[in-house]
Structure 1
Amino acid sequence: MSKTFNLYCDESTHLQHDGKPYMMIAYIKCAYPQIKQHKDYIKLLKAKHKFHGEMKWSKISKSNAEFYADVIDYFFATDLNFRAIVVDKSQIDETREGFTYDDFYFRMYYQLVAQKMAAKYTYNLYLDVKDTRSQDKLSRLKNILDNHHNIRNIQFIKSYESYLMQIADVMMGAINYHIRGLNKVTAKNRIIEKMQSHAKINLKKSTPKEAEKFNLFYIDLR
């Protein structure tokens, strides 16, 4: 029987006119039988630190820094995987014939998901509901991934329903914060340092293509 993985996908500062310089999309990959194990452990960490609510990069502060540090330690101690794509939006050229920002966005989702899939495994994709266009997005993603017959399911969920999607938000937020030079919050800087130390990389550079645990791809469109 083929092994199944869940991909919990999220995106950050991806809108064309949001005033932010980078488009980011990312996922956390988890073997299907291990979902409950990870959920139960995160629950224990939340209870230990008396943390309530949803994990988000935007919520990191001095008062909850120890909790988020433990979450990052946990990620690197397990076989969970992270992959992110980063694009400098100033390089996206909509003057090309038949090319739009939306087209490019969906191409990047294809790059994120399809390039690291193994034919011998099957996959479920879960995406965070962001806006009223979610159903249109779901339809387009299904179309561009249609030739990957090892994708069993693609659906939207609310981020509060998945701890793993929330971890994707935190790690993606750390990268985005770091590359934009926003280093004013000490608690956030600590999370960034911890991620770099564990991954043994500079978060401002792509990892080797074959990297599995922590895969980061800066796309240069020039």
Structure 2
Amino acid sequence: MTKTFNFYCDESTHLENDGHRYMILGYVSTSYNQLKKHNQAIREIKRSHFIKGEMKWRSISKSRVVFYAKVVEYFFMTDLEFRAIIIDKTQLNHSGFNQTHDEFYDKMYFQLLNKKIQFDATYNIYIDEKDTHSYKKAQSLKQYLERDYHNIRTLQAIKSYESELMQMADLLMGAINYKLRGLSKVASKNTIIEKIEKEIGKPIIEPSSLYEKKFNKFFIDLK
């Protein structure tokens, strides 16, 4: 029987002229047959800490830091995997490569996903519905990926509140972006970053080895 995997993708400071140096694309992935278990477990952590609504990096506070620490613990004790690519937007040269930023976006998503996609499995890929253009982005990205892969069963935009794992991707990417931006004023966010760094055994913004599967980060060099 062919295995199926679900990827829950998010993006951070990805717009071309948003004033932020780094663009981050990332996902949390799981095998399809484990999805229900993960959703139920995360919802139970929410209930036990009286948390309603979405998990988001920006929502971390002193009163919620124990909850977010439990979510991080859950990620590292399970088969869930995280991968992110980081792009320095000061290196962008769209005119030199005869491309739009949307076309560049598709290329970077390919770089995010292609190391993980195997030809003997099928994939459901979900991206965060940010705005009314998200469905068009999903369609464009699916067409781009299907040039090389014919085993993508689903690629669609969904609202983040529909997916606990997309919310987890937001949490982990938020931690990376916070450190990349040199921020440190919120003690509860520092606590979560320190917890992740303890689990991975290195600074959260240090690149991973090529073979790191659990928490993989890769800096794209556009030069």
- TM-score with structure 1 setting the length: 0.97
Shift of 1:101: 2.1
Matched, 1:182 2:183: yes
Partner of 2:215: 214
Alignment of 1:109-188 (within 5 A): 109-146=109-146, 147-188=148-189
Task: Give the conservation status (yes or no) of the 8 Å contact 2:139–2:155.
Answer: no
Shift of 1:135: 2.3
Partner of 1:38: 38
Distance in 1 separating the partners of 2:152 and 2:100 = 26
Alignment of 1:7-46 (within 5 A): 7-46=7-46
Q: Which moved more, 1:56-65 or 1:139-148?
A: 139-148
Please tell me the residue identity of whatever aligns with 2:166: M
Distance in 2 separating the partners of 1:173 and 1:188 = 10
Deviations 1:58-105 (A, max 9, x none): 100001000000000000000000000111111111230512222211
Distance in 2 separating the partners of 1:192 and 1:79 = 20
Identity rate, percent: 51
Q: Which moved more, 1:207-216 or 1:160-169?
A: 207-216
Partner of 2:84: 84
Distance in 1 separating the partners of 2:172 and 2:2 = 29
Task: Give the conservation status (yes or no) of the 8 Å contact 2:129–2:135.
Answer: no
Task: Give the conservation status (yes or no) of the 8 Å contact 2:135–2:156.
Answer: no
Task: Give the conservation status (yes or no) of the 8 Å contact 1:179–1:203.
Answer: no
Deviations 1:132-185 (A, max 9, x none): 211221221011111311211111111000000000000000000011111100
Partner of 1:49: 49
Task: Give the conservation status (yes or no) of the 8 Å contact 1:201–1:207.
Answer: no
Alignment of 1:86-101 (within 5 A): 86-101=86-101
Shift of 1:204: 1.8
Q: Where do 4+ consecutive residues of structure 1 move more than 3 Å? A: none
Task: Give the conservation status (yes or no) of the 8 Å contact 2:8–2:169.
Answer: yes
Task: Give the conservation status (yes or no) of the 8 Å contact 1:92–1:101.
Answer: no
Please tell me the residue identity of whatever aligns with 1:216: K
Please tell me the residue identity of whatever aligns with 1:190: T
Size of the aligned set, in residue pairs, is: 222
Partner of 1:195: 196
Where in structure 2 are there 5+ consecutive unaligned residues? Answer: none
Q: What secondary structure sits across from 1:29 in the alignment?
A: strand
Distance in 1 separating the partners of 2:97 and 2:180 = 31
Q: What secondary structure sits across from 1:111 in the alignment?
A: helix
Please tell me the residue identity of whatever aligns with 1:188: K
RMSD of Structure 2 on Structure 1 (CA): 1.1
Please tell me the residue identity of whatever aligns with 1:121: A
Q: Which moved more, 1:204-213 or 1:1-10?
A: 204-213
